[in-house]
Chains A and B, each alone.
Chain A
């Protein structure tokens, strides 16, 4: 089990941006788009066999030619004073058929990623994922930001379109981030790296669908590029968003009218500060959640 680095790029206190697939693939699309737009170069990876079951076999004329495993790759990009390392995992290592990584394997993988961060003297780690929220797919998703250190909060407050957990009504600053996108934040803290997880909002009724939600990836990327002080072209994400939007709208029209009526009210929701009255009442919120759950149950598991 280990790291394989094909080269050792000379980097100056880079930051590390890491992501794995999750709900709506929000984080991974954001990070992979950034990697692609910046034309970052691959320089290593994590050997897959101890973490993953193979994903593809090719047999030609009766001979097993190869077995392909989910990839876990490192990339780098030199930008004057803003060098970036990327880590992109094609799958989260799971044990016992769970959806998201947890336990020994997840901890091992998080540590291997941070071994690279340490080797290159990274000054900060960013991860990214999804925040399931009572929002509507026609509104611009916000980005929930969770730092692993108090000292990062003032900086986050200046990002724009970003909220802290304490800004979300009823949460009292609490919550949790499942899977490796969250775990890396905690392991970073343990190993002394400052880290921020940026989560794009996805409407509650889309969380169980096998659809990507690039609209939220775009919000994440806007925040990330502001934080990194780099400008990037987001045309590709806009195109992805247009395609996804069509499929989401098709799905939305299949939702029974009475539930859709409730969901339509979310078009106008903006999060209130904890001391302000919310735009929909707690009771209404509960009812919407129950209706959505019932609908997905009837549909057979929401996906």
Chain B
């Protein structure tokens, strides 16, 4: 199915039966970038291939993020010892079908990938003190059965609402199904006031699942420390601002906030966490 798409392979990999984990860089709570970055760091992932950007991204200039110029990247990393391939990429802005097929071309033809794990996050209106859930959408009944032993919400019903479009993750999952690659799209709900920041607890949730499923033997003590720090920061904020504490209390009691209150909570938390960083 390789149709000559612009793929650069730097080193061929000796993988026999690998799994592909994919995360997008601009995810809610930065989940895709953080989780795939964490895997690469902990498992010593080595970059071995990339997809050239010109067909898939508008290249009319560069984006600036955190004072730095950013250029779209779509890179593959191999963690040989664990039969794991990690793909970290910006979401393409055009030619989605070609792009997603290119990803699976590399996975199948160069890495013998047998399973696909797509990471994603969604906005939740719960408080950060609530445990994170992990929702799984699979592309086959067999995959659903295989995942039965893990702590996953596996029975979601959903259809696109008027005015909306399916996510890129659903598009990829569907292409994988067409190519007979069993796959799962994993979704972690992230509290709305952390959506533009980071949520270490959400990262841990998805990474713990991958750790267990793919037998990666990861020591999460550093991530646990991050979770503790973030929780402490938020606790500090609550004790300093009674209004914020009240908002979070209400969310903890499953009460909705008004749009204005939501906005205030987001702003206060983002300002505070940025200051602390």
A residues at B contact (CB < 8 Å):
49-50, 53-64, 66-67, 95-96
A-B CB pair tally, cutoff 8 Å: 71
Is B170 a contact of A50 with CB atoms below 8 Å?
no
Chain B residues within an 8 Å CB radius of A62: 136-138, 144, 153-156
B58 an interface residue at 8 Å Cβ cutoff?
Answer: yes
Residues of A within 8 A of B96 (CB): 53
Q: Which residues of B contact A53 (CB under 8 A)?
A: 96, 165-166, 171
Q: In the bound complex, how far is the Cα of B166 from the Cα of A58, in angstroms?
A: 9
Residue B158 contacts which of A49, A57, A95 (CB distance < 8 angstroms)? A57
Cross-chain contact B171 with A64 (CB below 8 angstroms): no
With contact pairs A50-B98, A63-B139 given, residues A57 and B156 touching in the complex (Cβ less than 8 Å): no
> What residues on B are CB-neighbors of A66 within 8 Å?
174
* Distance A56 CA – B174 CA, assembled complex (angstroms): 12
The A-contacting residues of B in range 166-222, CB under 8 angstroms, are 166-167, 170-171, 173-174, 177, 185
Given A58-B160, A62-B155, A64-B137, 14 other A-B residues pairs in contact with their CB atoms under 8 A: A53-B166, A55-B166, A57-B166, A57-B170, A58-B158, A58-B159, A59-B158, A61-B154, A61-B156, A61-B157, A63-B138, A63-B139, A67-B170, A96-B58
Our pick among A57, A61, A96 for the contact of B93 (Cβ within 8 Å) is A96
Is B243 an interface position by the 8 A CB rule?
A: no
* B94 neighbours in A (Cβ, 8 Å): 95-96
Instruction: Decide if A50 touches B137 in the complex (CB within 8 Å).
Output: no
Distance in Å: Cβ of B230 to nearest Cβ of chain A = 30
Show 22 A/B contacts (Cβ-Cβ < 8 Å), sorted by A.
A49-B97, A53-B166, A54-B165, A54-B171, A55-B165, A55-B166, A56-B160, A57-B158, A57-B170, A58-B158, A59-B137, A59-B156, A59-B170, A61-B157, A62-B137, A62-B144, A62-B155, A63-B140, A63-B141, A64-B177, A95-B94, A96-B94
Q: State the CA gap A96–B94 with chains docked (Å).
A: 7
SS class of chain B's interface: helix, strand, loop or mixed? Answer: mixed
Nearest-CB residue, chain B, relative to A49:
B97
Q: CB-CB < 8 A to B144: which residues of A?
A: 62-63
Closest chain-A Cβ to B121's Cβ sits at a distance in Å of: 17
Q: Give A56's nearest chain B residue, CB to CB.
A: B160
B159 in complex: contacting residue of A50, A57, A96, CB < 8 Å = A57
Question: Min CB distance, A294 to chain B, in Å?
Answer: 27
Q: Which residue of A lies closest to B135 (CB)?
A: A62
Provide the residues of chain A in CB contact with B153, threshold 8 Å.
62
Task: Please measure, in the bound complex, the distance between the C-alpha atom of A56 and the C-alpha atom of B159, giving whole angstroms.
Answer: 7
Q: Distance (Å) between the CB of B128 and the closest chain A CB? A: 26
Given contacts A67-B171, A96-B58, contact A61 B155 (CB under 8 A): yes
- B93 nearest CB neighbor, chain A only: A96
Query: Which residues of B have CB within 8 Å of A55?
Result: 160, 165-166
Question: Closest CB-CB distance, A112 to chain B, in whole Å?
Answer: 16
**Could you tell me if A59 and B157 are in contact, using CB atoms closer than 8 angstroms?**
yes
Q: How far is the CB of A193 from chain B (nearest CB, A)?
A: 29
Return A285 CB to nearest CB of chain B, in Å: 35
Q: Point out the residues of chain A lying under 8 angstroms from B167, CB to CB.
A: 57
Q: In the complex, how many angstroms separate the beta carbon of B114 from the nearest chain A beta carbon?
A: 18
Expressed in whole angstroms, the Cα–Cα distance for A36 and B93 within the complex equals: 36
A62 to B93, CA, bound (A): 27
Beta-carbon contacts under 8 Å, B63-121 to A: 93-98
Residues of B within 8 A of A96 (CB): 58, 93-94
Residue of B136, B156, B166 near A67 (CB, 8 A) is B166
Q: CB-CB < 8 A to B185: which residues of A?
A: 64
Query: Which of B155, B166, B177: most chain A Cβ within 10 A?
Result: B166
**Residues of chain B contacted by A56 (CB below 8 angstroms):** 159-160, 166
